[in-house]
Amino acid sequence: MQVMQQQIDVAIVRPEHPLLEAWRLFKKNTAALAGLAILTAIILLAIIGPKIYPVNPFRIVSLPLSPPGAGGPPLGTDYLGRDILAGLLHGGRATLVVGVSAALCTLLIGVVIGALAGFYGGWVDNILMRLTEVFQVLPPLLLAMVLVTLFSPSLEMITIAIGVSTWTGTARLTRGEFLKIQGQDFVTSARAIGALNRYIIWRVIFPNALPPLIVMAALMVGVAILFEAMLSFLGLGDPNIMSWGMMIGLSRDFIFESWWAVTFPGIAIFLTVLSISLIGDGLNDAFNPKLRER
């Protein structure tokens, strides 16, 4: 069986994956490089920041609503007297983890459903696409709120709720790529020499459908971060783990008395989502065949 699989690998002629060419084009995009630099800095701060500034974000360290530069914490305190800077550094970890995990969950659901629908077609495609349409007409935020409310408001549940609410676009994109690719000669060759369907799906077609999915994955991280922030703002976040959305939600009633408690985590979310969007645009330009031909 292993020898036959090796023969299939040799016999199938796949187009060369243009990753090096895409990276060359990506490096020429100044905005995308700026986004990559900003995101790298944010990730590093989230990783090493709590070690450099080891303050518990839930501990009361000063007077409530102390402004920045008032002799207390550098970025002031919230309505309970908790350190805003400590909340930003610790909250970045939770926010980024939820963003990446939820994006992976979205891709997992969307890719599996889209791949099966695009490859098999017929009644399989009809059933899976009707299922996709059912989820597509449901408001994603409302669906996520219902799921988090029914179950425990933990980071794991928030991640699953975001993934279940936002997979439809990925499924349609994957289905379209499979429909476009499976008619190519190298796929026909794989069928002709007796390759199994699961091998054709995941080893022949899927690698060639990756470029647009990579772009989608980058953009989904930003969407997931915004979803987590909205859920936390509405009081549906994990109360035991600090996040940027939770910081904004807890201080929303004191926005006029302590603008810094809302502004600084809001800026952190804005910069993170902006950097991810710039990276996504750069990846889209890099993987665009028309731009690569210039």
Q: Report the distance separating Cα 107 and Cα 58, nearest Å.
A: 34
Encoded amino acid at 90, one letter = H
Assign a CATH topology to domain 40-292.
Answer: MetI-like fold (1.10.3720)
Largest CA distance in the chain: 75
* DSSP class per residue in 135-180: HHHS-HHHHHHHHHHHS---HHHHHHHHHHHS-HHHHHHHHHHHHH
HSE (side-chain half, CA atoms, 13 Å) at 172: 10
pLDDT per position as a tens digit, 157-215: 999 999 999 999 999 999 999 999 988 888 888 888 888 989 999 989 998 888 889 88
pLDDT per position as a tens digit, 12-48: 444 444 567 777 878 888 999 999 999 999 999 999 9
Q: Residue 165 carries which DSSP code?
A: H
Rg over CA atoms, the chain: 23
- Supply the pTM of this predicted model: 0.84
Per the CB < 8 A criterion, the answer to whether 70 and 191 are in contact is no
Q: Report the distance separating Cα 263 and Cα 239, nearest Å.
A: 20
